[in-house]
Amino acid sequence: MAAYILKRLISAIPVLFGITLIVFLIMAMIPGDPATAILGAYATPENVAKINRDLGLDAPLFQRYFIWLGNLFTGDLGRSYSLNRPVLHEIIERFHATLVLAGSSFVLCAVFGILAGVVSAARQYGWADKAITFTVLIGISIPSFFLGMVMILVFAVRLRWFPVSGMYAIYGGGDILDLLRHLIMPALALAAVATGVVARMSRSAMLEVLRQDYIRTARAKGVKERKVILGHALSSAMVNIIPVLGIQAGFVLSGAVYIEMVFQWPGIGRMLVDAILKRDILLVQGGVVFVAACYVLFNIVVDVVQSLLDPRIKS
Amino acid sequence: MIQFLNLLFRNRLAGLGAGMLVLILLIALITPVLPLPDPNITATADRFMSPFSEGHLLGTDHLGRDLLSRLLSGTRLSLAVGVAAALIATVIGSSIGIVAGFLGGRTDNIIMRLVDMLMAFPYILLALAIVAALGPGLNNALIAVAAVNVPFFARNIRGVTVGLANKEFVDAARLNGMSNGQIIFSEILPNVLPVIVIAMSTTIGWMILETAGLSFLGLGSQPPQADLGSMLGEARAALITFPHTSVVPGIMIFLIVMSINLLGDGVRDAIDPRLKSGALSRPLPATIVERKEVPPTPDKDLLSLQELRTEFHVGERVYKAVGGVSLKVNKGECLGIIGESGSGKSVTALSVMGLVASPPGKIVGGTVSFQGKDLVGASYNELRSLRGDRVAYIFQDPLSTLHPLYTVGDQLIEAMQAHRSVPQKDAQARAVELLEAVRIPNAAQRVKNYPHEMSGGMRQRVSIAMALANEPDVIIADEPTTALDVTVQAQILSLLNDLRRERDLAIVFITHDFGVVAQLCDRVAVMYAGQIVEEGPTAAILDDPQHPYTKRLMACVPELGGGKRELHAIAGLPPAVDQLPQGCAFAARCEFAQEVCRQGGIMLEPKGERAVRCLFPVNADQIEVTL
């Protein structure tokens, strides 16, 4: 097991390098002079030169990449111009909020998606299947940002069940209950599409598995149907569902940007949008690399879980 | 093409999606000629008019602009941008995929590495990075959304192309002197196109949604120009006070994406042949029973089938897989059921415990009685409590019939615990005992193995051990040795025979091999086209087959040492069980068939211990097999 984890970690190294290179190259595509973009058209030549020096923009492209990469290793992602603080501090603070949001959405989409898929497959063509299929269709068609807005109108403004926006109440609050009250709507809105996708995939994976010979064997042994579905069939279907969960993790992690805008959630997505609009390149660069690297590491966890489940992978 | 459209519109939801989409597209097309106010003319005095106000059907927005007019022009823009992004992503992504898959080798390696890198990014994050570099704006949002979808197309299309690049027709084209470019356009592209269409139809909705999303964030279309996303983004500030300005564009995005999703699902189902004819329906826990006539009263024998009929209903067709089979087996007896594949022998066996896949299978008549109790009419719970406990199965090909993710020990333990509560420790000890009973060496270690870690013969022994777990009265073995080589086959057969003697088991043994029948079975029933054509003690039938089919079937068995006899395949094929002929089903292949054989049903005539379903039974020496 340890050997497998190590193998996967090592294989992630080139991917992580690739990510830094791609982000760097994308940022290098910025047309015109970044210094002018930051300072505006009326900047003095001295200030332009200073910024170019600060950003290391006077060096050739590949050299700049290695300087940036070297700084990355020491945890120095540079200083944000718009916020005037180290990029890394800002990212860590913001990422915490995104992780809370995306993490709960991920749990919701995994639990409810698989549950819906299993029920749907076990009751194929029954009313539960039809109701789930219909709900899923709506779930995957509704833009998350619109769903969030509708939820605010219904549950916060009309019914007053939840606060309209934010992560904590401004006065008082700050405890876990306060967080939960603020979290429920954005987490649900973010999870909707992912839940729909997971439900669809789980349904078809379960249908595929239920046709297998070993399911007939389990039934021929007299295993209870509940155990056939939740044990024999689901354990095999999980082999196909887990990769989909990995993709959905990336989806909720990056799709959080919309929900953070709608619910004024102080996460990294909103930080990125602000940084893009303010042309704060270092902040964008750092934020994108950080989130992408987290996603790569999360996918290793997914692979390890997969190998725990399927003994055929390691051999 | 016509067939494709038929399939597509047979799916009502896809039709609904197509209808909705066409309607939205039509409205978007004729928008410029509609008598609507300019979408960008502001009138601050008329801000936030509610829907159904005079002159403004959907009201006005925060700058007093007509919402209906803005909605329609926004829809035009969103559709145009989404479709453009989809087309760009499809063309570029598919081209990369085809080139990588077709050329293979280094090119493929480098391209796919890059694609993997790009796919390591969370999708929207990469789009944000690209917009950050290019700057906010609708064109840049379009480029970003197209770019992040390119790897998806490249990877999918490459996969399909790799499969095609090694096919014979590509080699043939190459031998004909076609260039790589010609082969790609004339041989590869037409075959890849359906996959491209599926990929595009399932992603175009996403791309419309993503561009709208970027606009919503303020990174796409810039004021005063507005697509649906930026309309929603601008309206957000007034969400609570004037919700209609948000709800109107939101619902439109929802309708567009839903109609595309519906249509996309329809296209995928129509193109993907695996999904045709409902092949993906899953079997129920027990076969559906729909007996039309009153079933015969159950028998007192250990296990007996009377006039059992099982059919498969696929669309309009009815396959009569088992057409009135009566059989019995007593304690310690081994009954062989022999026939060609498709003769209905396996379906007969599976019908006993309601294990015929259903849908499409159905038991439509007869009884199966076990110790005097009718199993066909039994509830699922009664069936389940007998399955594996009193009547156990051994199936063919244990690699697919054992669960791949459970150890063999756990599968054995489960077989016991399904019927009685056995403490885990005792169950484990018993699992080892069972493996020893089927002569698996080193059983204590082997219980921890997964099926894929064992050889075929070992796996088959495991499935026999599993059948023995609850000391059943009857074992139904469905071609348990077919997948094994001859020496292992002989071992398994003698093992089964020993177990039968030791435990006084009744065995129903299904096979297509007369050699196996001769070795193991006391009695044998020969099946053809869902019916028993001859039945009796094994020795008697082997000595003196009376049905021409039995005789021909035996002539197919090679004899060791004899060396002189010729082998004779039976000319022709068995009839399809959805188009059974009148009269004898074998008549078309039978050299003794006469006109009367083709009229009316022929009964299974009992003669002492034997029975034969033939008007002109043959005697042992009567036929000289001629070719």
Q: Reply yes or no on whether the pLDDT at B622 is more than 70.
A: no
User: Are A315 and B453 inside 8 Å of each other by CB?
Assistant: yes
Q: Reply yes or no on whether the pLDDT at B551 is more than 60.
A: yes
Q: What would you measure as the largest C-alpha separation in chain A, in angstroms?
A: 83
B367-413: pLDDT as tens digits: 999 988 888 888 999 999 999 999 999 998 778 899 999 999 999 99
Above pLDDT 70, what percent of chain B? 94
Which residues of chain A lie closer than 8 angstroms to B117, CB-CB?
A: 15, 18-19, 22
Pairing label, strands B523-528, B334-338: parallel
Helices (H), B353-396: 380-386
- pLDDT at position B561: 57
Phi-psi region of A84 (alpha: psi -120 to 50; beta: other; left: phi over 0): left
Distances (CA, A) of B62 to A58, B190, B224: 46, 51, 12
Which residues of chain B lie closer than 8 angstroms to A220, CB-CB?
A: 353, 355, 387-388, 392-393, 395
B482 φ/ψ angles, rounded to the nearest 5 degrees: -65, -35
B518-549: pLDDT as tens digits: 888 999 999 998 899 999 999 999 888 888 88
User: What is the residue-averaged pLDDT of chain B?
Assistant: 86
Measured between CA atoms, how close is A85 to chain B, in angstroms? 20
Torsion of CA A131, A137, A139, A140, to 10 degrees: 160
User: Are A208 and B393 inside 8 Å of each other by CB?
Assistant: no
- pLDDT at position B448: 93
Tokens 């810039």 correspond to what residue? B222
Distance CA B201, CA B266 (A): 9
Distance CA B4, CA B306 (A): 45
**What's the whole-number mean pLDDT along residues B212-235?**
89
**What's the whole-number mean pLDDT along residues B47-56?**
75
A22-26, B253-257, B588-592: segment of lowest average pLDDT: B588-592
Distance CA A221, CA B411 (A): 10
Q: Which of the 8 DSSP states describes residue B276? A: G
Q: Reply yes or no on whether the pLDDT at B154 is more than 90.
A: yes
Phi-psi region of A284 (alpha: psi -120 to 50; beta: other; left: phi over 0): alpha
- pLDDT at position B223: 83
User: Are A275 and B132 inside 8 Å of each other by CB?
Assistant: yes
Q: Which long-range contacts (CB under 8 A, 24 or more apart) does B536-540 make?
A: B536/B609, B536/B610, B536/B611, B537/B609, B537/B610, B538/B336, B540/B609, B540/B610
**Residue A292, CB half-sphere, CA atoms under 13 Å: how many?**
30
Sequence letter at residue A261: M
Question: A106 Cβ partners below 8 Å, 6+ apart?
Answer: A191, A194, A245, A248, A249, A252
Measured between CA atoms, how close is A115 to chain B, in angstroms? 17
Measured between CA atoms, how close is B416 to chain A, in angstroms? 9
User: Are A311 and B450 inside 8 Å of each other by CB?
Assistant: yes
pLDDT category of residue B563 using cuts at 50, 70 and 90:
low
Distance CA A121, CA A206 (A): 6
- pLDDT at position B574: 79
Q: Reply yes or no on whether the pLDDT at B104 is more than 80.
A: yes
Tokens 């199966």 correspond to what residue? B368
User: Are B283 and A211 inside 8 Å of each other by CB?
Assistant: yes
Sequence letter at residue B533: V
Q: Reply yes or no on whether the pLDDT at B625 is more than 50.
A: no
**What's the whole-number mean pLDDT along residues B162-191?**
86
- pLDDT at position B626: 41
The DSSP string of A16-85 is HHHHHHHHHHHHHT--S-HHHHHH-TT--HHHHHHHHHHTTTTS-HHHHHHHHHHHHHTT---EETTTTE
Measured between CA atoms, how close is B251 to chain A, in angstroms? 8
- pLDDT at position A167: 86
Distance CA B440, CA B451 (A): 14
Structural domains for chain B: 20-25+59-276 (1.10.3720.10), 288-373 (3.40.50.300), 402-467 (no CATH)
Mutation for testing the A interface, residue in B403, B434, B464 having most A CBs under 10 Å: B403
User: Are A29 and B134 inside 8 Å of each other by CB?
Assistant: yes
Measured between CA atoms, how close is A26 to chain B, in angstroms? 6
Question: A296 Cβ partners below 8 Å, 6+ apart?
Answer: A12, A15, A16, A19, B120
List chain A residues with pLDDT less than 50.
Answer: none
Distance CA A191, CA A259 (A): 10
Distance CA A154, CA A147 (A): 10
Facing residue for A254 by CB, picked from B120, B124, B261:
B124
Facing residue for A232 by CB, picked from B116, B240, B403:
B403
- pLDDT at position A314: 63
Distance CA B35, CA B53 (A): 17
Provide the ipTM.
0.89
pLDDT category of residue B275 using cuts at 50, 70 and 90:
low
**What's the whole-number mean pLDDT along residues B259-286?**
74
Give the chain B residue whose CA is nearest to the CA of A313. Answer: B405
User: Are B282 and A211 inside 8 Å of each other by CB?
Assistant: yes
Which residues of chain B lie closer than 8 angstroms to A284, CB-CB?
A: 128-129, 132
User: Are B384 and A272 inside 8 Å of each other by CB?
Assistant: no
What is the rounded radius of gyration, in angstroms, for the C-alpha atoms of chain A? 24
Distance CA B323, CA B575 (A): 13
Distances (CA, A) of B214 to A192, A256, B128, B138, B248: 19, 13, 8, 9, 18
Facing residue for A257 by CB, picked from B116, B117, B124:
B124
Residue A223 · residue B414 · CB < 8 Å: yes
B1-16: pLDDT as tens digits: 677 777 666 677 888 8
Q: How many CB pairs under 8 A join A and B?
A: 234
Between B397 and B446, name the one with better pLDDT: B446
